[in-house]
Chains A and B, each alone.
Chain A
């Protein structure tokens, strides 16, 4: 589904963002990328839909090279990749439905969308996407009236409205509290299972990674230092990825009130 071939990202100031990455992510996988901040998680994710350009190498999405794609081709590939952001990235003063509908623009010509009109099928798709994340009833409310967790679900619905083959989520729960974190992660997992959408998530919390992922990729200083199923991602492995013992704040359970949750 997604193939990284010798991908290198070097910033203009010489820093290496990604160092010779080779990965092959298969259809329907729920991949969680872990690593310290600055390890290149976000760069890796954003290079998949070319929000960041890479310096050399090639990335294939569904067999097509996004690295070489241009203009229309690039937009056509991006249309198949939904993205979810840490800060939701909604138009706050627009209604929930308008936000979700904006995920449909890739399917229409620039001219026909300029008037802001969407055909009925698009409305149905958007409402269906909202139903999937259980906020159908908020469709006509302004986005800024919703809580953080609800806003993140709207942005999931927006990604779903694209009818994507892949969903990228860049720290989707970093600005949420533990309870809504689980709701959002549950939504992502359900969508991954029900719609067979390949999902790649950057996460800070390693217990969440273990709980939801089917495959974990560990990054350290722009290199893949771990790639395997959850069963192999032991505490010792995580210490290796992080280059030090696991901290309390890297566990979601540590943030939550004292309960029975153990890692």
Chain B
């Protein structure tokens, strides 16, 4: 029999007395299960009700005449994109991709040493790996757009703030994925090298990097995909890229032009996604 007893199993299974005396404990565990279920449901529904009240969720508003007309008008205009506007958006589109590339590469390069510090099989000293991980987790709690809003306030409006936001974001993501990959590598070669007297640097260069490199590149590509999508909306907080133009068109109620931007952005994002997924599959 498989181990890992649940509380219920432990309550009924351990001593294995004859079956005839069995019913009592199982009835108990059934009752307990039922109360747990009930309590979970009550808490769950209670939280939902409080939330719906708290947010003034008015689903009728979603289907009210005003909302229908607004949505209908917007969607109607979006159905007819203004293709003549497309020629204006190639430059910001290129800028968007540039922001994503620069942010990804810088973030990924910065992530390497931190990932090495976080991996316990390379850095067995807890005094180093635990604070390193804490910093990483801290960085990862802040969403990319929030970084962008902050950097815009610090460095002013422009693509630089956006790139910096993506640097931080990529750093967190790549470092976490990479240190997990490093911890999962085959310890055999490392042991062999330690046995033959290699020092730490030699260990990393000849033992760790060859094993972890494909994963690292794969994660960088994945981060790049995420960053392209992020870069497309960074402009909403003033951090450059195509989002700035989209924001302007939405504010001036040019939904036909906004739609052009959205469609082209989606196509480019999808193309990059597919290309990157293809590359990743070849890497691993």
Direct chain A–B contact by Cβ atoms under 8 Å: yes
Give A contacts to B, CB under 8 Å: 131, 134, 136-142, 144-147, 150
Residues of A within 8 A of B22 (CB): 136-137
Q: Which chain B residues lie closer than 8 Å to A144 at the CB level?
A: 2
- Cβ 8 A contact of B12, one of A131, A134, A141, A150: A141
Q: Is the CB of A141 within 8 A of B6?
A: yes
Q: Of the listed stretches B26-34, B106-114, B121-129, name the one at the interface; the rest are far from the partner chain.
A: B26-34
Give the most central of A142, A145, A150: most B CB within 10 Å.
Answer: A145
- A146 nearest CB neighbor, chain B only: B1
Decide yes or no whether B19 CB sits under 8 A from chain A. Answer: yes
Residue of A nearest to B8 (CB): A140
Give B1-46 interface residues, CB cut-off 8 Å to A: 1-2, 4-6, 8-9, 12-13, 19, 22-23, 26, 29-30, 33
**Across the interface, do A145 and B1 meet the contact criterion of CB distance under 8 Å?**
yes
Decide yes or no: A134 and B6 within 8 Å by CB, A140-B26, A141-B13, A146-B1 being known contacts: no
- Which listed residue, B2, B4, B12, touches A140 by the CB 8 Å rule? B12
Q: Mark B157-168, 1 if CB is under 8 A from A, else 0.
A: 000000000000
Q: List 6 A-B contacts (CB under 8 A).
A: A136-B23, A138-B13, A141-B12, A141-B13, A144-B2, A145-B2
**Nearest 6 Cβ contacts at the A-B interface:** A137-B22, A147-B1, A140-B26, A140-B29, A140-B30, A141-B9
- Min CB–CB distance B30 → chain A (angstroms): 5
Whether B19 lies near A141 (C-beta < 8 A) is no
Give the total of B residues in contact with A, Cβ under 8 Å: 16
Residue of B nearest to A148 (CB): B1
| Docked-complex contact B1 and A134, CB < 8 angstroms | no
Residues of B within 8 A of A134 (CB): 19
User: Which chain A residues border B9 with CB–CB below 8 Å?
Assistant: 141-142, 145
Cβ contacts under 8 Å, B26 to chain A: 137, 139-140
CB distance from B11 to the nearest CB of A (A): 9
Chain B residues whose C-beta falls within 8 Å of the C-beta of A145 in the assembled complex = 1-2, 4-6, 9
Q: Nearest residue in A to B12 (C-beta to C-beta)?
A: A137
Among residues of B, the one whose C-beta sits closest to the C-beta of A131 is: B19
The distance in angstroms between the C-alpha atoms of A139 and B24, with both chains bound, is 12
Q: Which residue of B lies closest to A135 (CB)?
A: B19
A131 to B13, CA, bound (A): 16
A93 CB to nearest chain B CB (Å): 11
In the assembled complex, which residues on chain A have CB atoms less than 8 Å from the CB atom of B23?
A: 136-137
User: Assuming the A-B contacts A146-B1, A150-B1, are A137 and B19 also in contact, with contact meaning beta carbons closer than 8 angstroms in the complex?
Assistant: yes
CB distance from B222 to the nearest CB of A (A): 31
Docked pose: A139 CA to B9 CA in angstroms: 10
Question: Which residues in A have their C-beta under 8 angstroms from that of B6?
Answer: 141-142, 145
CA distance A113 to B281 in the complex (A): 44
Q: Taking CB as reference atom, which chain A residue is nearest B31? A: A140
19 more CB-based (< 8 A) A-B contacts, given A136-B23, A138-B12, A142-B9? A131-B19, A136-B19, A137-B12, A137-B19, A139-B26, A140-B8, A140-B12, A140-B26, A140-B29, A140-B30, A141-B9, A141-B12, A142-B6, A145-B1, A145-B4, A145-B5, A146-B2, A147-B1, A150-B1
Q: Which residues of A contact B4 (CB under 8 A)?
A: 145
| A243, B19: Cα distance in complex, Å | 47
Provide the residues of chain B in CB contact with A138, threshold 8 Å.
Answer: 12-13
Task: State how many angstroms separate the Cβ of A177 from the closest Cβ of chain B.
Answer: 13
Give the complex CA separation of A65 and B195 in angstroms. Answer: 75
- Could you tell me the distance in whole angstroms from the C-beta of A113 to the nearest C-beta in chain B? 18
- Chain A residues closer than 8 Å to B8, beta-carbon distance: 140-141
